[in-house]
Structure 1
Amino acid sequence: MVDILLSGFVTIFVIIDPLGLVPLFLAVTPDADANERRSVAIRACVIAFAILALFAIAGMALLQGLGITLGAFRVAGGLFLFWIGFELVFERRQERHRRSADRAVDDPEVADVAAFPLAIPLIAGPGAISAVILLSGNLPTVAGRIGLVAILLVAMIVTFGFLAVADRIDRFLGVTGRAVISRLLGVLLAALAVQFVAEGAAQLVETTTAAPLSTSP
């Protein structure tokens, strides 16, 4: 279980990409001082944690209610995570997130950027939700789900740490440093996604071959 939790933390951390969030966070809080930015970061991380924890606890029940097998979701979720890794490597995900941030800045009706676009979809986006549901399928016990919620909490604390010192990180790394790290994280996420697809495909084959046997007299 420890190996699954460690792999899960890496997966969630890479998808959230706190380093990639730094320039976007600064973009949506242009006139805020350090204390105001920390307040926004706390609210965003709390909202994102609540959303991801909900899917960690009830995600599998949702799949079962929709009649979706874990194997099928592993294949679909793995492909989706692979696409996110592809976007990280070629810097396309940053452009998409930047468009969401720009809409929030330009829209006068957006009262709190902590909820949108920070918590949703920049932190607790479709990729993070898919990863959490996939991980919950690998951790079906109560202890496993508690461990999953715990690594989500750690991921949110780390994300808050990055956002709280976003201006310093942005000056230290610069554009080149962020690009290099994002590409490395994208390759890592792509490898993890392939593993999810392989496990899901094997489970689908096993289910398909076992189905005729279960119906035979």
Structure 2
Amino acid sequence: MDIFKPLVALLAMVNPIGVIPFFIAFTQEFDRTQRKQTIRIAAFTCFAVVSLSALLGLRIIEFFSISIASFQVGGGTLLLINALSMLNAKPAEGGTVSAPDAGANIAVVPLAIPLLTGPATISTMVIYAQKTQHWWQQAVFVGYGLVVAGFVWLCFSAAGRIAKVLGSTGINIMTRLMGLILAALAVELLASGLIDLFPILGSAKLK
């Protein structure tokens, strides 16, 4: 297994640059201390989602007697849906998000979940974690959770400057680029899962 593929998929899905407009809108009434706290909590939540999905996600689907191949197809479909949304310059895993009430903590919901991480992220980590054979590979996934959290923290900390430099056009371009990368990864997961479910597809490919 290419150990770097999960990191590429995670960074493409989380895409904090594409969520910056939401972050700015949700925290515009916050003071500096509140904004920093929101950034810390959002980053930690992303780390927790990625790490727990890698460490415990496989046990959860085994409990429900779901095959990995079926999970790959389902996860790949979710990834493809998110990728298509991103290609339309919408944040991955987004949806209709109402503005929070005054004083509400929006770091966990909706910033971390579902705008940054959500079902597609969990599916991806479970699929890749299933392919691990050694404890250090799972430790690498936990490390990827730290990388994602650090990326979220950096982007949100520099949200004001990034928004000024990129502008709405630049953010849209970045979101579409990440969506294209994510679409390619989604197709790969779908193909792998479908071949496992229907081996005849693999035989046809060989011919």
Report the TM-score, using the length of structure 2 for normalisation.
0.89
- Measure, in 2, the Cα distance between the counterparts of 1:118 and 1:73: 26
AA matched with 2:59: A
Q: How far is the alpha carbon of 1:119 from its aligned partner?
A: 1.9
Cα distance between partner residues in 2 of 1:95 and 1:206: 31
Cα distance, 1:203–1:20 mapped onto 2, change above 3 Å:
same
Residue 77 (structure 2) aligned to one of 76, 79, 82: 79
Match of 1:124 in 2: 117
Secondary structure (helix, strand or coil) at the match of 1:130 reads: helix
The alignment partner of 2:198 has SS state of: helix
Cα displacement (A) at 1:96:
4.3
Long gaps (5+) in structure 1: 208-217
TM-score by length of 1: 0.85
Structure 1 position 35, deviation (Å): 4.0
2:152 equivalent in structure 1: 159
Against the structure 1 CA distance between its residues 147 and 94, is the aligned structure 2 distance closer, same or farther, given a 3 Å change threshold? closer
1:43 matches 2:36: no
- The 3 A distance-change label for structure 1 pair 92 and 18 is closer
CA 1:56–1:95 in structure 2 vs 1: closer, same or farther (change >3 Å)? Answer: closer
Q: Which moved more, 1:119-128 or 1:77-86?
A: 119-128
Please give the alpha-carbon distance, in whole angstroms, between the structure 2 residues aligned to 1:145 and 1:127.
Answer: 19
RMSD: 2.1
1:143-154 equivalences under 5 Å are 143-154=136-147
- Once residues 38 and 141 of structure 1 are traced to their aligned partners in structure 2, the CA distance between those partners, rounded to angstroms, is 37
Match of 1:215 in 2: none
Question: Is 1:138 aligned with 2:131?
Answer: yes
Match of 2:27 in 1: 29
Work out the CA distance in 1 between the residues paired with 2:60 and 2:123.
12
Shift of 1:197: 0.7
Deviates more, 1:14-23 or 1:88-97: 88-97
Unaligned runs of 5+ in 2: 201-207
Shift of 1:59: 0.6
Q: Deviation string for 1:88-115 (max 9, x for gaps)?
A: 0013447944x31xx242x35x731112
Whether contact under 8 Å (2:129, 2:138) holds in the other structure is yes
Per-residue Cα deviation, 1:18-74 (whole angstroms, up to 9, x for no partner): 111111111110122444322211111112211321111011111111111111111
The answer for the alignment partner of 1:66 in structure 2 is: 64
Q: Determine the C-alpha separation between the residues in 1 that align with 2:116 and 2:169.
A: 22
Count of residue correspondences: 201
AA partner of residue 113 (structure 1): I
Assess if the C-alpha contact under 8 Å between 1:56 and 1:132 holds in 2: yes
| Structure having the larger proportion of residues in helix | 1
Provide the identity percentage. Answer: 31
- 1:213 counterpart residue number: none
Tell me: CA distance 1:94–1:176, structure 2 relative to 1, closer, same or farther (3 Å).
farther
- Between stretches 193-202 and 46-55, larger displacement belongs to 46-55
User: Does structure 2 retain, via aligned residues, the 8 Å contact 1:104–1:113?
Assistant: no
